Structure 1
Amino acid sequence: MTRPIRVIQWATGSMGKTCLRAVIDDPRFELVGLFVYGAAKSGKDAGEIARRDPTGVIATRSIDDVLALEADVVLHCPMLSDPYDGHDADVRRLLEAGKNVISINNYFEPGALGADYAARLESSALKGGVTLAGTGVNPGWVAERMAANAVSLCLSHRNVATREIIDCTTVPNPDYVFEALGFGADPASIDLVDGALARTFDSMFAQSVEGLAQRIGLSLDGYESDHQLRLAARDLTVAAGTIPEGTVAATTWRVHGLVDGGRRITHEVNWIMDPTDPAFAGKPHWQIDVDGLPGLTIAMDLVDTAPEGVRTKPEQFAVAAMVLDAIPRVVSAPPGLLRL
C-alpha cells in the first residue's frame, strides 16, 4: 500500500489554516510538521489550531525544527512580505534541505521577476533535488488556466483581460488589512508607482500576466502598471476595525503585458471594503474578456456551500483545493521550478 504523502504546513493565517484542515482531513496526506509565526500558537497541537482532533504534531516557530523533519512537501502560506521577496531565504533553506515547496504567495512564474531571480531559486531546488511551485486561485488559476482556455476559442485576439473583485470586509487580521493591503490609509501615503504596495503587486501579478502569455504562446516585451485607489464615502466598520471616511477603501492593482508597445494582456485585482460602491456592486468575483475573433466574456462566482457555523470562505476552500491538487504533481516532478 502506498504511504501517505508527508506534509509540513507553514503558517496558519486564514489561508494556511484552511490548508491545514484540508491536509488533516485527507487520507492521502500525513501531517508531520507545523510552522507558526505567533508565540500564542507555538507549542499547541495542530489539531487544536485547526479545530480538529489532536494530531500529535506540535507547532514550532523554529525553522531548524522544520528542516530536521522527514517530509515530502512544505505548504508555504505566510502573509505577503514587504519586500515581496522577503520569504526567499526561508524557502531556499527548505529547498536546499530536500523539501519540495508549494507557495500561495510567490513562485508562480519566477522568470517574470528576472532571469537571475529565477536562476537563484532553481539553483536551490536543484541543490536539494526538489521542486518549487506556486499556486492558488489568483495568481494560479483565473488567468493562467481559465483565461488560457478562453483564448483557445478565438482565432485571433488583441487583448485578454482578467478581473477579480475580492470583498475583504470579513478579513479579521488588522495587520493584514491595514498594513499588507493598505486599507484605512491616507491616500497621500500610498505611492502607486514606486511604493511598497505597488512593488509587491507589480511583482505578484506580473507573474499572472507572464504565466498566461506562456500558455497562449505570446512573447512579451515587458510589463506596465496602472493602479488606482478608491476612498471611503463614509466610515466603514469591518471585521478588522474601522476604515474612516476619506481613507483607502478599495485598491485596484492592474498589470499589463506588452508586445510592440501595445497592451496584449491585462490583469486586474480589486480588493474592496465597501460592496455597495457602484464601481463594484453587482459585478462577478471574476470576469474574463477576450477582445478577439470571436470576442468572449466569461463571468464566474464562487458559491458558499459550507455548513452552518463554518466561517471559512469559498475563496479559502478554493485555494486549499488548488494546493492539495498540486501536491502529488510537485512531489513527483523532476527537481527545479515547476509551472503548474
Structure 2
Amino acid sequence: MAALLRSGKNVVSTSIVSLLHPASAAPAIVRMLEDACTEGGTSCFTSGIDPGFANDLIPLTLTGMCARVDAVRIAEILNYDTYDQPTVLFDTMGFGRPMDHVPLLLLPGVLGVAWGPAVRLLADGLGVTVERIEESFERLPAPESFSIAAGPIEAGTVAALRFEVVGIVDGAPRIVIEHITRLRDDLAPDWPDPPAGGGYRIDVTGSPSFHLELSMTGADGDHNAGGLLATAMRLANAIPAVCAAPPGLLTPFDLPLLTGRGLMR
C-alpha cells in the first residue's frame, strides 16, 4: 500500500481495518503511510459497510437530529447461508467447528481490533472519548446436520454466533456494535430477528430516540450479494472525492457526502 501511495496512486480499501480510525492505529504504520501520501501527493480511504458506512455515516446522521444522545447501538443481523466463503466462515469465524474450538475471530482482543476502530470513529463524531473497548460473544450449535453454500455443517458444531464490541464512555457502555449471524433462519430463536431479508438495525437512545432498520438485496434477491456489492460501491463511489482530497489518511469526516451522483441513467 505504501508503494502505491508513494508512486502517485490514490487508494481505497476495505482491508487494514485499523485505518478506519488512524488516530488509534499503530503509529509506525500510520507514519509510514502518511509519509508515502506526502511523497506521492496521494490519499488513502478505508471503509466499507461494516466496519464502515453502517457504523459511522448512518448513526451519526441520526444523532444530528437529537437534543441529547445517551447511547448508540448498531447491529448486523444476517443469515450467512449463501455466503460462499469457506475460509472466512469456517476458519476465521469458526462455523462448522466444534463448540470448544476458538477460531481466529474469537481469540482475545481480535474483535476489538476488527471493530474497535469503528467504535472510536463513531465516538469522534459524537465528541466523546472511548476509555476502553470490551468484547463478548455467544455461540449455539446446529440441532442437526445441514448444508450451506460454503459447505456442510454437522450436528453439534457452531451454527450461530453473536458478538458485541462495546465502547465504554464515562464508565458506561455507550457505543455498541453487535453482530448476530445465523446459518439458518430458525436457529437462535431467542436472539433478535433480522430486518426484512437481513441487514442492519440502528438504535440511537436519547431525545428523541431513533430506530432504523436497513435491509439490502442484490439483483438476484440475495442479501449477502447485496451487502458485498454495497461494501465495494461505498469505496468505488468515493474515488473522485478521495482523488480530490489533500494528501493523507482519510476518514468520512474528511470527505463530502458520497452519493450516487451519475448513477441514475
Is the counterpart of residue 164 in structure 1 residue 164 in structure 2? Answer: no
Choose 219-228 or 259-268, whichever is displaced more.
Answer: 219-228
2:215 to 296, 301, 323: 301
Q: 1:103 to 1:253 in 2, by over 3 A?
A: farther
Q: Deviations over 1:202-236 (max 9, x none)?
A: 21211111121112222222211122222222212
User: Is residue 228 of structure 1 aligned with residue 138 of structure 2?
Assistant: yes
Task: Pick closer, same or farther for the CA change 1:136–1:193 going to 2, 3 Å.
Answer: closer
1:328 is matched with 240
1:178-257 map, 5 Å: 178-190=90-102, 195=107, 199-257=109-167
CA distance, structure 2, for counterparts of residue 311 and residue 286 of structure 1: 11
TM-superposed deviation, 1:311: 11
Of residues 183, 190, 194 in structure 2, which corresponds to 1:283? Answer: 194
Cα shift at 1:165: 1.5
Deviations 1:51-106 (A, max 9, x none): xxxxxxxxxxxxxxxxxxxxxxxxxxxxxxxxxxxxxxxx2232233321111132
- What one-letter code is carried by the residue in structure 2 that aligns with 1:330? V
Distance 1:236 1:127 in 2: 54
- Would you say the 8 A contact 2:63–2:204 is kept in 1? yes
TM, length-normalised to structure 1: 0.66
Equivalent position SS for 1:292 = strand
Amino acid at match of 2:119: V
Uncovered stretches (5+) of structure 1, i.e. residues with no partner: 1-90
Who is 2:54 aligned against? Answer: 142
Structure showing greater radius of gyration is 1
Distance 2:223 2:52 in 1: 24
**SS at 2:163's partner residue?**
strand
Q: How does 1:1-340 map to 2 (within 5 A)?
A: 91-105=1-15, 106=17, 107-190=19-102, 195=107, 199-277=109-187, 278-279=189-190, 282-284=193-195, 285-304=199-218, 306=219, 313-340=225-252
2:103 and 2:245 map into 1 onto residues whose CA distance is 40
Equivalent residues, number: 246
- Equivalent in the alignment of 1:87: none
For residues 185-209 of structure 1, the C-alpha deviation after alignment (integer angstroms, 9 at most, x for no partner) is 22222179971xx544321211111
CA distance in 2, matches of 1:97, 1:187: 47
Distance 1:95 1:145, change over 3 A: same
> What amino acid does structure 1 have at the position aligned with 2:173?
R
Pairwise CA distance, 1:307:
5.8
Cα distance, 1:135–1:192 mapped onto 2, change above 3 Å: closer
Deviation at 1:119, TM superposition (A): 3.0
Root-mean-square deviation (CA, aligned residues, Å) is 2.5
| 1:188 counterpart SS class | coil
Percent identity among equivalent residues? 28
Higher relative contact order (CA 8 A, sep 6+): 2
For residue 114 of structure 1, report the CA deviation from its aligned partner: 4.4
Structure 2: unaligned runs, 5 residues or longer: 253-265
* Aligned equivalents of 1:124, 1:93: Cα separation in 2: 7
